[in-house]
Structure formats: C-alpha cells, structure tokens
A and B are shown apart, each in its own frame.
Chain A
Amino acid sequence: MGKVLEKEAFGLAAKDNSGVLSPFRFARRETGEKDVRFKVLFCGICHTDLHMIRNDWGMSTYPLVPGHEIVGLVTEVGGKVTKFKTGDKVGVGCMVGSCGSCDSCTEGLENYCPKMIQTYGFKYYDDTITYGGYSDNMVCDEAFIIRIPDNLPLDAAAPLLCAGITVYSPLKYHGLDKPGMHIGVVGLGGLGHVAVKFAKAMGTKVTVISTSDSKRGEAINRLGADAFVVSRDPQQIKGAMGTMDGIINTVSATHSLLPLLGMLKHKGKLVMVGAPEKPLELSVMPLIFERKMVMGSMIGGIKETQEMVDMAGKHNITADIELISADYVNTAMERLEKADVRYRFVIDVANTLKPTP
C-alpha cells in the first residue's frame, strides 16, 4: 500500500518531454526516524537534469522534479539520527537509497548497487517517486546526507555533490592522485573545471584538452591548469603524445578516442565520466601494444563523497557558478544545451522559488 505523504512541498517539474519546467505542488513523506529534513537553499543544475527532463535516455516518468546537487540547512531530524542536528549545513547528491547488503554497498559503493535509488525519478521503498532538489524542502535518510564544511560557500559547493564526486572518485580509485603525475582533462564544463581544481589540489600536473582555443586563458590563469591542448590541432596533439598518466574524459558528445589514447603514457588510463549515447570507435592497437586502458566511472559512494567534500573544504575548492533565480531555469536549460555557462548554473532556491498563490 502506498504511503500517505503528509508534508507539503513546492518545486519546479517537467510535465512532459518538452522538458519545460513549471511550478509544481507535491508532497514529501513525514520525517521518519532515520530521516533528515532540510530547507533547500541552493540546487545545482547538472547536465543529467537536462537529459532527464527531455527523456533522452527513455527512463523518465512525469512529473519530474530534477536536481541532485542540493544544499541546505537541517530543520528536523528523526529520533534515530545521530550524525546531524537542526541548523547543520548539509547536502544530498545523486542517491537517496540503496540495498545496504550487496557487495557494492558493503564496500561503501552504493553508487554501483543494482538497487540504488536516485534522488529523482526513481521509486522509493514506500512506493512513492523521488523528487529532487528544485524544490523548497528535502527529506532523506541520514545515510545519504553529506555534511558541508563550514568554510565553503553553500551555493558554490552545491555542484560538488555530483560534478565533484564524479571526477574525484576515479582520480582516487585509479591512483591518478599522486603528486607529480600528469593528468589530462577533456572538456572544460561542469565536470571538467572541477576536475582541474581537484587534480591540482592533489599535486598533479594538469593539461586541459579542448576542441577550441577559447578557454585557454581561463584554464591556465584562473583554474590553474598547467597546459592546454586543442584536440583539433594535430601539432598540439603531437606535442602531447605519450605524456599523461591518466585522462579524465568528461565529454558526452561523440568524439574520437584515438588522439586521447595517443596522449597517454604506456599503461595510461582513459577514464570516461561523460556518457556518449552511441558507441565510440576504438582501435585496440594502443590497448594491445601499449597496454593502455579505457574505463568508466559514475559518481561515487557516500563515504568518498564526504571525503571529497572535506578535501574541498580543506583546499577551498568550489565550483565556478552562475547563480540564477528559479524563473530563469528554462532559459538556463537552453543555455546549458549550448554549453553557454561558466561552468554550472545554481538555482537560488530559498530566495527565488516561491509557491504560486
């Protein structure tokens, strides 16, 4: 039997695959004994939100309230909650539930649990559909709540909850976090710019690889990248051949992997965190003759998400954001589609998302 949802909520939802977001009143569950309830202050706009509101992946159900880079202040905690109290600065990323008992869950990798429940558009244990952070309040099991360090501005910290962990996890898992290593970052968008910041904080040398020269100045001067290679320039590619220990590839458009594989050293790792929908052409020669690898990665577990945010706190790492009001969100989506943002939109939820009368 479905649970009766008691707490009113207000947000922005897509009602169909046009993806247009409009005001939406709905209800969330009461704060259960293991739940943390918080007032949403800010929510980042992830490219996944754009894909989901348009049903690009064929898995969306409507109405869909997106948003999985959610930060706010705790307003209520359930009786069995031990780690958080009212007033704490907290966040929720891409997951709100998992089975808790499979191999992945027991290793702190809830993101790979086959029963992982995403923050929006998924069926929760009480048979309700999860609604994301483009909304005024959020309730979530304590196990999936992240504490935000005091020194981080909440608006610019929000994108860490998806973009941040998405690049941090593979840098650590694949051992690409050792000082002195040379890391390539393909694509300078929401994921890419945060990858540069984390990789630099880990002490690595960072080269940004981009299709155009336009972002060279800010990559080097503002983000601290050590070098910049335009992937359409054969001379620049040639100069970078065989120089990188690992490459974090954030690009989801179809593109050629061969020059990227060429830039890796022997045994180098090409990590895909962007997800092109169509298969990419792959010559196996660099894998066979130079033992290079292609691997994928998707967000990260809760423990490592907390670790990532704590590292961000220590090194003052936040996203570069454009703060927008709730009524700008559809325009923001159009601009996001054209990659016209430096580098993440964040919705000023508390100040601008108001219920319609």
Chain B
Amino acid sequence: MAISLDRNKAFGWAANDKSGILSPFHFSRRENGDNDVTVKILFCGVCHSDLHTIKNDWGFSHYPIIPGHEIVGIATKVGKNVTKFKEGDRVGVGVIIGSCQSCESCNQDLENYCPQLVYTYNSRSIDGTRNQGGYSDKIVVDQRFVLSFPDGLPSDSGAPLLCAGITVYSPMKYYGMTEEKGKHLGVSGLGGLGHLAVKIGKAFGLKVTVISRSSEKEREAIDRLAADSFLVTTDSQKMKDAIGTMDFVLDTVSPEHSLLPLLSLLKVNGKLVTLGLPEKPLELPIFPLVLGRKMLGGSQIGGMKETQEMLDFCAKHNIVADIELIKMSDINSAMARLARSDVRYRFVIDVANSISLL
C-alpha cells in the first residue's frame, strides 16, 4: 500500500530508549488529507502515561517516541471534507486519533473501546505510519478525532482535560455517580486525575472525600479544591469511622496497592472504579464484594462525543486543571519530578513559545 511520503516537516522532542530522556527530534507529519485538520500546537499536558511509555514500563514502547496526548492548538489547515472546523478554530486532540469507525463500539460513539483503536502516540495507523504525539509543533488528525475547544476554557489549563478530565468524567457518568446530587464519592489519590475528579464531582453536586496516604494535601484539598473531607488511609480510627459511608470510590492510584480498605469504605451496592494501570495484577478480596453486593469496575478515557460533552461541561462550570507551565527544554526535569509526584497537579508544556528548531 502506498504511503504518502510527506514533506510536511515537523519538530518535536522524543525519547529514543527506555532511559526516557527526551531530546529534539526532526520528523514529518502526513500531508493534510481531505478529512484532516492540521493543528499548530500551543500547549500539551504531561500525562503519567507519557512517563510510563517513554520508560517502556508497560513493555510495548517502540522508539523513537514523541509523547503527549493533551494537545490544544489552532487549526491551520482543514481538508475539503472537513465540516466541523475551519482555519483559526481553537481545537483539542486527546488520547486517540483513529478507530475502525464501523464496529459496535464506534457506532455507539465509544471509539475508546474499539478493538482497532489508534492511540495518539506509540501506535501505528492502518497506512503504516508511526504516530507521534503532542510534544511537537504540529499534528495532523482526522476530523472525527479533533475536539472543539470551548470559548472560556483556557488553552493551557484546559489541556489536561483531554486525558485526565475525560478519564474521570466518563466513569462518573457510566457508573451512575452523577445521577443524584448528594451521593458520596471517594477519590483515592490526589494527582492529575484525582484533583479533576474532585472538581467535577463537586460540580455534579456530590459530596466528595479525598482518600490519601498522607495528610500533606489535606488543606488544599479542602480549601482550594473544595473537597468536603479528607481521609488518610494510615489513620486506622478515621478509616474505621468511614466504613460503609461511600456510594462510589474512584481509584486513580497506579502503583500496586490494596483494594480492601477502599472496598470497606463502600456502602452496600457501592462501586469501586479503578483507573490506574499497575504493572502487576492486584489482589481482589472477594468476601467484601459478596457480603455487600459491591462492584469493581474500570474505565479508560472516553469516546469522542463524551469527550466533547466533558469539555463543554467544564467550560460551563469553569473547571480547569491546576497546572505548572513549563518550557519544552525543562521536560526531562519535569518527568523526574512527575515520577516523584512532585507537581500540583499537571505539568503543561508551553509548546508554541518554547519549542524551537535548534
């Protein structure tokens, strides 16, 4: 099959091996096709998945890898079949850039569950192209996978919504957490995912408790993020008092951890939804599930339609991520800090102002 070889030069920062060290990298994007939108990238969020991928933590990285799937930019070119966007529009690109578009999942606007899902980076499209992500000056994407960035949503602090935001919004809707105001949601882990889960949960009228290993983040959880309460898992008395009090728990923690304390916090019929991707299997105690008719489920990102719905919801409720804006050249030290969870709560690369050809 002929691959359109592209003189559409691009520039980004890539990891070349599992050291994960990122450095300048020249490459090409495809020419803008009839269904495509070319995006000049303004900002790109730094997701924990980016770190896992550049270090090959999950074992399927193919180098060189330009990560980045929380991309906000301006449409600079649209193909002739593109109806939803025009040049100059502010747009977003998230975690997926392709799917089969004909299976049951795709037909239900759940492209994220398509068996032929194409991720924004570290993936291969049907035509054979290796896909590279948003730590770069531009990207070319099929219009189905481009999102309209609502007015009123800042490009820099809105960027993390494209992965972190939808990753918590989708399960909150799917598992019925948002149907009734006043229900009690526990958010385990206060990082990129967790802090957005608190904001979105509060916007849906839920009571929100942050569950964390240490009390370090208590004040800001309550004062700044407006969580209703904060539970430290090492405080056995407080954990005991909280048994059976939560309708739902969203678990955003990826390193291996015990599910038993989280299950114990659930009421009867309660739901624990796990979002993190640990490297090894977890241990699931069965008795608590049986005795309380509890459920353990998972979720990943969301379909394009619900991602747009989430962006519109966040714009309406002024929900953005808490970010630390960095220059492209700072990315390696940012990754080192991310590995230590030393960020409140998402790094965002100021791509347009700091990515320059060397």
Contact = CB atoms under 8 A, between A and B. Distances in A.
B286 A296 contact: yes
Interface in A281-328: 281-298
B298 A296 contact: no
Contacts of A286: 298
Interface residues of A, number: 34
Contact of A282 (B260, B275, B283, B293): B283
A296 B300 CA distance: 23
Interface string B100-138: 000001000000010000000000000000000000000
Contacts of A294: 284, 289, 295-297
B288 A296 contact: yes
A352 interface: no
B30 interface: no
A291 B174 contact: yes
Chain A interface secondary structure, helix, strand, loop or mixed?
Answer: mixed
B295 A283 contact: no
A124 interface: no
B105 A112 contact: no
A296 B290 contact: yes
Interface in B58-95: none
B297 A279 contact: no
Main SS class of interface, B: mixed
B277 A284 contact: yes
B20 to A, nearest CB: 22
Contacts of B284: 257, 279-282, 294
Contacts of B297: 287, 291-294
B309 to A, nearest CB: 18
Interface residues of B, number: 32
A266 B294 contact: no
Contact of B293 (A289, A290, A292, A296): A296
B265 to A, nearest CB: 15
B230 to A, nearest CB: 25
B286 A272 contact: yes
A336 B229 CA distance: 49
B283 A296 contact: no
Interface string B276-290: 111001111111111
Interface in A225-275: 257, 266, 272-275
Contacts of A291: 113, 174, 297-300
B3 interface: no
A109 B113 contact: no
A300 to B, nearest CB: 10
A55 B292 CA distance: 22
A340 B162 CA distance: 56
B281 A281 contact: yes
B178 interface: no
A203 interface: no
A275 B260 CA distance: 15
Nearest to B269: A112
B105 A266 contact: yes
Contact of A279 (B174, B277, B285): B285
A290 B290 contact: no
A104 interface: yes
B296 A272 contact: no
Most B-side CB within 10 Å, residue of A103, A104, A287? A287
A276 B288 CA distance: 11
Contacts of A103: 268
Contacts of A283: 281-282
B95 to A, nearest CB: 12
A289 B300 contact: yes
B113 A290 contact: yes
Contacts of A284: 274, 276-278, 281-282, 298
B298 A287 contact: yes
A285 B295 CA distance: 16
A173 B294 CA distance: 12
A272 B284 CA distance: 12
A298 B291 contact: yes
B1 to A, nearest CB: 28
A21 to B, nearest CB: 26
Contacts of B291: 296, 298
B289 A295 contact: yes
Given A280-B284, A281-B281, A281-B283, A287 B290 contact: no
Given A287-B274, A289-B300, A282 B290 contact: no
B292 to A, nearest CB: 7
A22 to B, nearest CB: 30
Contacts of A288: 274-275, 277, 298-300
B298 A297 contact: no
A290 B298 CA distance: 8
B287 A297 contact: no
A113 to B, nearest CB: 9
Contacts of B293: 112, 173, 295-298
A295 B298 CA distance: 12
A284 B269 CA distance: 20
A282 B287 contact: no
A272 B290 contact: yes
A293 B113 contact: no
Nearest to A275: B290
Counting chain B CB atoms within 10 Å of each CB, the highest count among A104, A277, A279 belongs to A279
B286 A279 contact: yes
Contacts of B288: 296
Contact of B296 (A173, A275, A287, A298): A287
Given A291-B174, A298-B293, A282 B282 contact: yes
Given A287-B297, A288-B298, A279 B283 contact: yes
B300 to A, nearest CB: 5
In the A-B complex, the 7 residue pairs with the smallest Cβ-Cβ separation, listed nearest first, are A296-B289, A287-B298, A296-B290, A288-B298, A279-B283, A295-B295, A282-B284
Given A114-B244, A296-B293, 9 more contacts: A275-B290, A286-B298, A287-B298, A289-B300, A291-B174, A291-B300, A295-B289, A296-B287, A296-B294
30 contacts: A103-B268, A112-B292, A112-B293, A257-B284, A266-B113, A274-B286, A275-B286, A275-B290, A279-B260, A281-B283, A281-B284, A282-B282, A282-B284, A283-B282, A284-B276, A285-B277, A287-B274, A288-B275, A289-B113, A291-B113, A291-B297, A293-B296, A294-B296, A295-B289, A295-B293, A296-B288, A296-B290, A296-B293, A296-B295, A297-B293
